[in-house]
Each structure stands twice: as structure tokens, then as C-alpha cells.
Structure 1
Amino acid sequence: MMGFITHCWRKNGLELLSSLARLLCVGILSISTAWAQNASIELTELKALRENGNLVLNAQMSLELGPVLEDALVKGLALHFVAEAEILRDRWYWTDAQVGVSHRYYRLAFQPLTRRWRLNVSSEPIAGTGLAGSISQSFETLGEALSVIRRQSAWRLIDLQSLTPDARQRIRYNFKLDVSQLPRPFQIAAGGQSDWNLQVSRTLRLNQDLVR
């Protein structure tokens, strides 16, 4: 009788441990999947070049919105992004001098009637429905629209003659999801959520041979 009870206990105990192990694996996979779906951004390339007497910038990033931001888009909320490239000259006696600054503004929205994605790009802030001065494009998929935002090519920053060849100069690049363009209730709700805190920055030192 004792052997039978011991055998049953061992059998049931092993089955219980096996079930717990499976549940643990499922839980870990679920957590990993949830983390993988979070919004993320990473700058993969930042390069300054000479082109037709101008200083131009190439930037490439890995940008994923994740389900929270995608759901907001589908429900009718437009997302605004802004890229800023500030050119600074070092000064030992005072704060660094701003030589120039350029912006690119993006407004991404979903159009439910056509089931297409609309992207507006402008060098001036895009506020509300003031889209007249922007370049508008429509895309079949969200990925196609994001590919335009992810890559900023041949972005003209400044005339090379405006730079000082012998000075130490740099580009301070910043890209972010501009939550200040959201309706006020969304700004408050987004304040504590990491999905809405999409931002990446990097400083690029300008080679003196580049600006001569």
C-alpha cells in the first residue's frame, strides 16, 4: 500500500512539476514577446558630407512604433516627429556658438476611408491642419511610411562658406516623437509611458578637411 501511494505521489508530483515548467516557459515567452513589441528607436548611421558647396547630413535609424502607438494611429490620432540638426562651434570663453540649425517635421496619420497611410514632411512645424506648406505622400502600409521617416538622406544643413575651417565644430542631432502636438489629455496620459518617449540623440564632430 505504501509503495502504491509513493508511486502515485511521484507520478503526480512529476506531472505537476512538468505542468509548472510549461507554464513558466509560456510566461517567459509572453513577457519576452511583450517586451519585443515595445516601441523602440536606435540611430544606426549619422554622416556629414559635402555636396554642391553645402554641408549635408545622412541619418538612418531603426524605428518601431509598437502596438500602443499603432493602435493610436488606427483610432485616428496623428503622430508628429521632429528631427533637429544643430551646428555648433566650440568657444573656450563662453557657451558654444550656434552656427545654424535645421529641422524636419513629420506628421503621420491613418486614413480609415481609403485604408492608407498619409505622411506629411516639412521644414516648418506642422500644426493642426496646416499642411499646405508640406510635402504629402500616401502609402499602402505603415512600414512604407515609416521607411521615409527612418532615412533622412542628403539633408542640406548649411552653406560651407558659413563654417569656420580652423574651428572645432560639430553637429548635434536629435530625433523624437513630439508629444507636445498631441491633444492635451493624451499628453498627460503619455507622460509616464515609455512607448511615447521615443527619442535619440548623437553628436558628430566635423572633420576640418570636410569644411575647407
Structure 2
Amino acid sequence: MDTTVFITPASTRPGLEVARCAEVPGWWRALVVLLCGVLFWGAVFARTPAVLQSELQRDADTLNLSARVDLVAPAAVQDALLKGVPMYFVWRAEVYRDRWYWSDKRVSTQTRTLRLAYQPLTRRWRLSVASDPGAASSGAGGLRYALHQNFDELGDVLAVIGRVARWPIADAAHMDRSDRYRVEWSFRLELSLLPRPFQIGMANDPDWNIGVERGLDAPADAAEEDAPPAVAPPSTALPPPAPVAVEAAPLADAIR
């Protein structure tokens, strides 16, 4: 029985694939590189507010954070606010205990969520503070608000949003005086709480990537060092009587 074997070469034109790649116009390749660069640099050059204050205070009861950032709303954010879309800003602070034998242990986490909305009828800005920040994980609908305040100017309300003063972030009673602690805090515009259509494509838009992070070493327990000096109780002893000056009588009267 005769057996015929047919062998077909994979390609009768060597370098055909390379030639096809070479047929791609140069301007098309340049456009792809440009788009990739825009996406990359858009994520890098996010809007980072300047940090004007960042410090910790520790007393006998709590560890407190005081921070202030120069918050400015870009034009895209202002336009969305004027169209009735609320914005959510989140402060977050985490306290870690140093461990030389393992990764640092997180001992406390605090979150503060603020909602900013524009009221077209009154032309005022309304700021609300969430009473249960942990409910933000279930979306904006799960937030409940306890404090509300109205502002006439956008700059005034942004100044309030961009600062915290003596914010309790940890219970000092649960912090061992012999250990070292570090605080990492962050402030950002929370995009995950915005309506779904607004979240598309925002991850690489620098106008919407508003956020800043900082780290601080917690001060040692200085309750005794910072205590005011002891003041001696007032004395109950009466002061000695003042000497009474006796005027000498004239010599002539004394003789009489």
C-alpha cells in the first residue's frame, strides 16, 4: 500500500507577520502611546490638597488628631454640585502599634463622613455629618446624619470640610505607655458613594482624584509631664499687724 505524506509550510512568505505590523500607520501607534500616557499621568498627577496642619495631642483619656488641608473644588466637581449631585468627603485615621517581630498591629480605626450638597431654591450649601460612619460600606443610602449646617459661600464650607480639631481617634487607656504607636490619616473625595454613572472613568481623572495621606508618630504619654505645676494652698494664718506710728507730743506739752 502506498502512503503519500503532504507537508504544508506554515508560511510561504517569511516575515509576513512582521510586514503586517509594519503596515500599521505611525500616527496610530503614536495615538495609542499618547492615550496610555494620559491615563498613566492622570493617575499620577491627582489633585493633592496642601496639608496646612497635622499634629497629635495625647491626654489622659484619648489620642486626638488635629489636621487641616487646603481643599479646593475643581470645576468638574462644582458643576456636578450645581446640578444636584452631592459629594462625600471622608476623613480616616488608623492607629498602629509597633511590633519588631511581626507587622504592626492596628489598634484603632476612626472614620468621619461628610456630605456636601447644593440647594438651588435657597442657593445655599448644606453640610451634613454622618452619625454612623461605618454605614458607608453599604453605600450612600445607608448613611444617617446627625449634624447639619448651611453656608452661603462654597469656600466657607470647604474650609470646614478640610479640617478636624482634636478629633478623638483612640482610647488612651488601651495604649500601653511602654509601646510605640503610629497614626496614618487620610482625607479624600469618596467616589464609591457617588451615583453609578459618575463613577465611570473617574479613576483616572485628576479633577476627581482629590486626596492626601500622612503619617505621624504618636507622642508618649505625657500626662505627668504636661500636668500644671502644683500650687500651694493659700495660708490661713493672719498677717502680722502693721506697726502703728505714734506721733511724739511737743516738748512744751510734755513739760506741762
- TM-score of the two chains, using structure 1 as the length reference: 0.76
The corresponding residue for 2:236 is: none
Cα offset, 1:201, TM superposition = 0.4
Q: Does 1:63 align with 2:71?
A: yes
The corresponding residue for 1:176 is: 188
- Tell me: CA distance 1:52–1:135, structure 2 relative to 1, closer, same or farther (3 Å): farther
Cα offset, 1:194, TM superposition = 0.2
The corresponding residue for 1:105 is: 113
Cα offset, 1:113, TM superposition = 1.1
Q: How far apart in 1 are the matches of 2:95 and 2:71? A: 24
Q: How far apart in 2 are the matches of 1:52 and 1:164? A: 12
Contact 1:39 1:65 in 2 (8 A): no
The corresponding residue for 1:49 is: 57
1:120 to 128, 137, 140: 128
What is the aligned length?
175
Cα offset, 1:133, TM superposition = 3.4
- TM-score of the two chains, using structure 2 as the length reference: 0.63
Unpaired segments ≥5 residues, structure 2: 1-45, 225-256
The corresponding residue for 1:148 is: 160
State the AA in 2 paired with 1:54.
T
Q: How far apart in 2 are the matches of 1:170 and 1:211? A: 18
Cα offset, 1:167, TM superposition = 1.1
Q: 2:49 aligns to what SS in structure 1?
A: strand
Contact 1:81 1:107 in 2 (8 A): yes
Contact 2:127 2:150 in 1 (8 A): yes
Q: Does 1:158 align with 2:170?
A: yes
Sequence identity of aligned pairs in percent?
Answer: 38
Q: How far apart in 1 are the matches of 2:55 and 2:79? A: 33
1:203 to 215, 223, 243: 215
**Greater Rg over alpha carbons, structure:** 2
Q: 2:178 aligns to what SS in structure 1?
A: coil
- Tell me: CA distance 1:188–1:159, structure 2 relative to 1, closer, same or farther (3 Å): same
Q: How far apart in 1 are the matches of 2:215 and 2:58? A: 18
Q: How far apart in 2 are the matches of 1:60 and 1:208? A: 23
More helix per residue: 1 or 2? 1
Q: Does 1:94 align with 2:102?
A: yes
Q: How far apart in 2 are the matches of 1:44 and 1:146? A: 14
Deviation sequence 1:82-111 (CA, Å, 0-9, x none)? 110100001122221111111110110101
Q: How far apart in 2 are the matches of 1:112 and 1:131? A: 23
Unpaired segments ≥5 residues, structure 1: 1-37
Cα offset, 1:191, TM superposition = 2.0
- Tell me: CA distance 1:210–1:149, structure 2 relative to 1, closer, same or farther (3 Å): farther
Q: 2:71 aligns to what SS in structure 1?
A: strand
Q: How far apart in 2 are the matches of 1:83 and 1:211? A: 27
- Tell me: CA distance 1:68–1:183, structure 2 relative to 1, closer, same or farther (3 Å): same
The corresponding residue for 1:78 is: 86
More strand per residue: 1 or 2? 1
State the AA in 2 paired with 1:65.
A
State the AA in 2 paired with 1:175.
F
